[in-house]
Amino acid sequence: MKTLSLLSLVVKNNLVEGASAHWWSQRLSAFFLVILASWFIISIGNVADYEYQTIKIWISSVLNSFLLTLLAFTMIYHSSLGLEVIIEDYIHVKKTRELLLALNKIFHLIFFIIIVISIFLISTRIQ
Amino acid sequence: MSIRPRPLSPHLTIYRWPITMVLSIMHRGTGIVLTSGLMIFAYWLVSIALGESYYSKFLFLSTTWLGSFFLFSLSFAFFLHFSNGIRHLYWDTGRGFNKDNVELSARLVIISTFIFTSIFWWWI
């Protein structure tokens, strides 16, 4: 009986919806980040200097701008999933929690848009 | 459901912190640090997109005392989250859960964080 009421509490408050999808998204993004972040550090560490032209040329290459966008997407996705868990863990007032969860998504989306536009501008504009 | 406060069991302040607990807390802490680090990553790209004078400003800021302190802390947080993240992925395969193993991997994470951070700043 006790288990049942606990279960109904969980279902009523939608606590399990998407939980396993969240778990998998977190691990998958983590796995890809191990690869993408390693690529980024090794590749950006290998450029000759940090002059404007050097960095611009590095980002402008098709492969680099593609991987950089992929890195940004995976990083931002992973970050929003992580912050989601933290908000769910510590914010116990339902209204506040839902507000913060929404803000979390919006802020991460804005970051992604800003980064994609920047990479696009850098790799298409000829100076 | 009653909302009457329940009695609490002895909590954080009572125990000597085991290394595994320190790392668990730091994984979350560095995760938050890295989320704010996204701002530096975005600023870097935006400054390049805006043009050379903005990028020079970014480069200048990153060489100030405070700027390099932020970047260094960010790199340390990254390598800790990276190493401990690999430890978590290893755990997710269902392995490495006995006490000795968990403490050994915790030590490895801390050692590799210092090694990665040193190599990175020596090499870059």
The residue that leads in pLDDT, A30 or B14, is A30
Per-residue pLDDT at A43: 95
Residue B67 CB partners (closer than 8 Å, separation 6+):
B61
Task: Give the residue from A71, A82, A38 showing the smallest Cα distance to B83.
Answer: A38
CA B49/CA B47 separation, integer angstroms: 5
Asked if A101 is an interface residue toward chain B (Cβ–Cβ < 8 A), one would say no
Which of B35, B43, B117 should be substituted to probe chain A, the one whose Cβ sees the most A Cβ atoms within 10 Å? B35
Percent of chain A surpassing pLDDT 70: 85
CB–CB contact B55 A59 (8 Å): no
* pLDDT, tens digit (0-9, with 9 covering 90-100), for A46-102: 998 999 999 999 999 999 999 999 999 999 999 999 999 999 999 999 999 999 999
* pLDDT range class, residue B12, cuts 50, 70, 90: confident
CB–CB contact A83 B32 (8 Å): yes
Instruction: Give me the residue label for tokens 């990028």.
Output: B55
Q: Which amino acid is located at B42 in the chain?
A: A
Of B34, B46, B85, the CB nearest to A114: B46
Residue A1 has pLDDT above 80, yes or no: no
CA B19/CA B27 separation, integer angstroms: 12
CATH topology of domain A19-124: 3 helical TM bundles of succinate and fumarate reductases (1.20.1300)
Per-residue pLDDT at A38: 97
- Average pLDDT of span A3-8: 66
Per-residue pLDDT at B13: 77
The domains found in chain B, sorted by start residue, are: 18-123 (1.20.1300.10)
DSSP assignment of B40-59: HHHHHHHHHHH-HHHHHHHH
Q: Which amino acid is located at B44 in the chain?
A: W
Residue B38 CB partners (closer than 8 Å, separation 6+):
A75, A76, A79, A111
- Chain A with chain B: Cβ pairs closer than 8 A: 65
CB–CB contact A79 B34 (8 Å): yes
Q: How far is B103 from chain A (nearest CA, A)?
A: 22
Token pair, residue B73, equals 């802390």
CB–CB contact B45 A75 (8 Å): no
Task: Say what the ipTM of the complex is.
Answer: 0.88
Residues of B in contact with A122 (CB under 8 A): 45, 48-49
* pLDDT, tens digit (0-9, with 9 covering 90-100), for B26-77: 999 999 999 999 999 999 999 999 999 999 999 999 999 999 999 999 999 9
| Domain extent listing, chain A | 19-124
pTM of the model: 0.88
Per-residue pLDDT at B6: 82
- Average pLDDT of span A7-20: 67
Q: Which residues of B touch A (CB under 8 A)?
A: 1, 28, 31-32, 34-35, 38-39, 41-42, 45-46, 48-49, 52, 55-56, 59, 78, 82, 85-86, 88-89, 92, 120, 123-124
The residue that leads in pLDDT, A43 or B7, is A43
